[in-house]
Amino acid sequence: MDPSKWIDVTSESFKYSLDHFVIPSHYQKDVSSILIPHGIIMDRIEKLAKLIVEDSKGPLVICCVLKGGHQFFADLVNEIKKCNTVLGQSVPLSLEFIKVRSYHNDVSTGTVSISLTDEECQDWKNKNLLIVEDIIDTGNTMVKLLHKLQEFQPASVRVASLLLKKTPKSNGYVPNYVGFAIPDEFVVGYALDYNEYFRDLDHICIISVSYILDFG
Ligand code: 5GP
């Protein structure tokens, strides 16, 4: 792993107390700490957008991996649009959505289902794709998705993932753009869910063990 490509988040240095930030009251008991506050996420996305625009020579098809990637996708696209307007760059964007599912509760099921039809993807031939994902854990989902995308003969495919989990279960896959490398813990918030809960939490948080025992 190349630590210069991302912010290395360690359990010791980055666990913020819940008392120091605002958390919706319906989640107070369900998360144990804040790993990445929302403001830091937004500042990091501003930089990722700049890097992506600098590396882009022409139009970009930005593909959101649903559901977990939707918040990162929305904020990243906004920042790329700002590069086009404020900084005077010119990267025409088109936006696409891919639904992928591989997790049940906090456990990877090992099977990855990708909802993509040939009609949806036929326009991707010879285009430059940017896949926007919330988190790479084992890397199996992304490797499978990238393999599938080759069927549509894009000119290039790059991947931006907000989070990269430091886990011994990794298959070694590393995205082109990474926001933060995080400890091997189950995180929620900023559209990352646990069975559809916590998507409406702004900060990226560590789920509490008691929540998993009660509802897992
Ligand atoms: P992978 O195939 O890389 O093991 O897993 C990728 C997918 O698993 C992600 O897109 C995400 O949906 C889910 N995932 C992996 N780790 C976490 C986590 O810590 N929290 C949440 N909410 N989802 C995760």
Q: Quote the pLDDT of residue 104.
A: 62
Q: Which atom of ligand 1 is nearest to the CA of 193?
A: 22
> Residues 137-191: pLDDT tens digits?
999 999 999 999 998 999 999 999 999 999 999 999 999 999 999 999 999 999 9
Q: Is the pLDDT of residue 27 over 70?
A: yes
* Residue 58: other Cβ atoms inside 10 A: 10
In this prediction, residues 201-211 reach a mean pLDDT of 90
Strands (E), the chain: 7-8, 31-36, 60-66, 93-104, 107-115, 128-136, 156-165, 177-182, 187-188, 204-207
Longest dimension (CA), the chain: 52
Question: Does this model's pTM top 0.90?
Answer: yes
How many Å apart are CA 65 and CA 135, to the nearest integer? 10
ipTM, 2 decimals?
Answer: 0.97
2 pLDDT band (50/70/90 cuts)? low
Which atom of ligand 1 is closest in space to residue 108's alpha carbon? 4
What strand order describes the sheet that includes 187-188? 31-36, 204-207, 187-188
Report the separation in Å between the CA atom of 84 and the middle of ligand 1, taken as the mean of its atom positions: 31
Catalytic residue check, 106 = no
Between the CA of 137 and the centroid of ligand 1 the distance, in Å, is 6
Return the pLDDT at 106.
62
User: For residue 87, what pLDDT is reported?
Assistant: 73
Ligand 1 contacts (CB < 6 A) are 68, 102-103, 108, 133-141, 165, 186-188, 192-194
Q: Among 137, 193, 200, 202, which one carries the catalytic annotation?
A: 137
Among 31-40, 98-107, 143-152, 196-205, name the one with the lowest average pLDDT: 98-107
- To test the pocket of ligand 1, the residue of 64, 137, 192, 207 to mutate (highest count of ligand atoms within 8 Å of its CB) is 137
User: Which residues have CB under 8 Å from 149's CB, separation 6+?
Assistant: 121, 124, 129, 131, 157
Mean confidence (pLDDT) of the chain: 89
> Which of 165, 167, 192, 199 to mutate to test ligand 1, by most ligand atoms within 8 A of the CB atom?
192
Give the pLDDT confidence of 80-123 residue by residue, as tens digits.
999 887 777 788 999 999 988 776 666 666 677 887 776 777 78
Mean pLDDT on 130-138: 96
What pLDDT does 110 receive? 63
Dist. CA 194–CA 103, nearest whole Å: 9
191-196 mean pLDDT: 91
Nearest protein Cα to ligand 1, atom 9: 135
CA of 156 to the centre of ligand 1 (A): 24
